[in-house]
Chains A and B, each alone.
Chain A
Amino acid sequence: MRTRISSKYCSKKILLSFTLTFLILIFQAVSVPFSTEMNAVQAQDVLTISTPYSGITVKAGETVEFPLDIENSGMSSQNINLSVKSIPEGWEGSFEGRGKKVHQIFVKNKNSQSVDLKIQIPSETPEGNYQVIVAASGKSVSDTLTLDLKVKKETESQGKLIAQYPELQGAGGASFKFRVDLTNNRSKDQSYSLGAKVPRGWEVSFSPSYENKKIASISLEPDKSQGLDVEIRPPEQVKAGKYTIPITAVSPNEQLSTELKVVITGTYDINLTTPTGRLNVESYAGKEKVTTLIVENNGSADLKDVKFSSWEPTNWSVTFEPEQLDVLPAGESKEIKAYIKPDNKAIAGDYVVKLTASTPETSSDIELRTMVKTSTVWGIVGILIIVLLIAGLSWTFKKYGRR
């Protein structure tokens, strides 16, 4: 090896280069895993899958859509595979774009592409937090996105039972027709049984709008609503007033109720009579005569402002005591007095006096046959005159009789 001095020099050069190469190799060997890691960090920046609403609350049975955004910031333009990496059992997730199912998208360099993720949540899903992981992977890079779904029962909206006009008014004996809309807001068909809570004697019937059938229950598809006619028939003898009738539609899942109000104005029926039913009175000319009258409320509503009036011959007077009744409760009667005073110059015989009890709603009248009698005062005067004459005659007998 000495003989070749040059070779010795040469060999030194080779050694150096070898050492350098070795060093580089070592360095490289040391640096390879490091650089690999660095490459991965670089890849995340390159491919990004994202959504603006990464956590939402849903209800069981719902299908939710997440708008996904896949961004290619550094790589060459390439196809990106989309996949659902993790999804709760029974759930279904799929990517959609322009109405089609998508599993791969092409993303240009420094560009982004959006795709929808549709997740169907089974209706029997219990409440809780669920995670869905989706992944996007290119040639050398990939990215994942975790979506947070909170399933809550409460979010499921209730059905609705709404009356168009919840308060109706009418007279007793009439029937009341309410229009009620029943809506199923659930995600599946529901059968509602219909019912109402009414006082004794009342009748309630349900029928679908524009149909005559009387129904006890009704089945509704999800998100459908049905108009119902609720006919409420109060009993004949119902008292006037405001009645609240709760109606319910009960399904296994929910109980819907609303209140219907019926304002019964009541029937107005007044009757004027006398205690004995006798309709004739006797009276003397110019003398006041008291007649007892009975005013009855035969209706179902309280009578207010019952006024009494009369028609009587000219120069007669009729007054009532009391002149009016502020209120006469339904079914009750009251005694009043009428003072009838015939004309001073009324000739003897029968007259008609018409007495009326009236309210703004109704009225009743009776015709009293009033017999006017002549006062017996003048009869007594006549007798007195004759007695005086007899006294005068007997005085004459005494004075002239003894001859």
Chain B
Amino acid sequence: MGMGQTGLGVLYRKELADHIKSKRFVIILLLVAVTGLGSAYSAAQGIQQAIAQEGNKFVFLRLFTSSGGSLPSFLSFISFLGPLIGLALGFDGINGERSRGTLSRLLAQPIHRDAVVNGKFLAGITVLAVMLISLGLAVGGLGIIMIGIPPTFEELMRILIFIFFTIVYMSLWLAISLLFSLLFRQTATSALAGIALWLFLAVFLSLLAGLVADGLFPINDQASISTAMYNQQVRQNLSRLSPTQLYDEATVTILNPGVRTLGPILPSQLEGAIPGILPLGQSLLLIWPHLTGLIAINMICFTIAYIYFMKQEIRAG
């Protein structure tokens, strides 16, 4: 990028420092650490019994997927908290500076204008990555201590891919919140808009998808198997408009090698199938569209925010 990115490094470091020093970050980190470690701890306790019963194939991955006792699994905690963390890191990114009057001052510096938005985004991703990698390592370390089995190479790879997915997913929400912080002047508005979108995509879209699917292909007593199939397909494809759905499907697949397909399947497709596990490559191929979709939405959101920011008129407050 050369000269075009003048000031990006400076702004990136400044944003990073701002994040880490902020009370908001400490709260988020505590929230994630407590829930993550708590769920992993309870999962590990359940695993100890499970090993004795079922053998120890991909035991380490169960640390992330199984829910022990009353706590939900690590995976579902992250899936639930991830969007909130992304939103929390970015909802006041631009309009907060604007309301504090620091944006025009910032732009008066001898830096390129795009360095501001790029720096904010990259710093946000870095904070997310650091947080998730350290959380992942902490959970892994806790797991080794508690169940006494180190992860195999494949398990390690699957965990790393899972963390990568989570970073992509959270940065998507970061991009969305940055966009909202540009669109709305009030930080409260942009925060609410982000939460509203998250609620819609995480909760209501799947309900809506079910309504549409049932309307198009009603399942009643006379419903044929193909109707049921179409119903399920419509429901699933509509739900997949939500990045939450994409992320859930992808992480379940990557952390559970036994998952062979995500869509509805006919009994005929199961004929001759042997219950078994998919190799990492095959699991990855299965969720490749999800990864592509998540990265694409991420980049599109950021690009829109970028263009919007670059075209915006900024006056000294």
Contacts and interface: CB of A to CB of B under 8 A. Distances in A.
Interface residues of B, number: 35
B272 A352 contact: yes
B286 A382 contact: no
Contacts of B303: 392-393, 396
Which label, helix, strand, loop or mixed, suits the secondary structure of the A interface?
mixed
Q: Chain A, interface size: which category? A: 35 or more
A351 B311 CA distance: 56
Contacts of B268: 313-315
A350 B274 contact: yes
Contact of B271 (A314, A374, A383, A401): A314
Given A379-B288, A393-B299, A347 B307 contact: no
B310 A401 contact: yes
Nearest to A311: B272
Contacts of A350: 273-274, 276
A396 B1 CA distance: 13
B178 to A, nearest CB: 14
Contact of A348 (B114, B261, B289, B291): B261
B17 interface: no
Interface in A310-331: 311-316
B292 interface: yes
Interface of B: 1, 4, 112-114, 260-261, 265, 268-269, 271-274, 276, 278, 281-282, 284-286, 288-289, 291-292, 295-296, 299-300, 302-303, 306-307, 310-311
Given A349-B273, A369-B274, 18 more contacts: A313-B271, A313-B273, A347-B261, A349-B278, A350-B273, A350-B274, A352-B272, A352-B274, A373-B285, A374-B285, A378-B285, A378-B288, A386-B296, A392-B299, A393-B303, A396-B307, A398-B4, A403-B112
29 contacts: A311-B272, A312-B272, A313-B272, A343-B269, A347-B260, A347-B261, A347-B265, A348-B260, A348-B261, A349-B276, A349-B282, A351-B272, A352-B273, A353-B272, A374-B285, A378-B289, A379-B284, A382-B289, A382-B292, A385-B292, A386-B292, A389-B300, A390-B299, A393-B306, A396-B307, A400-B306, A400-B311, A403-B113, A403-B114
Interface of A: 311-316, 343, 345-353, 369, 373-374, 376, 378-379, 382-383, 385-386, 389-390, 392-393, 396-398, 400-403
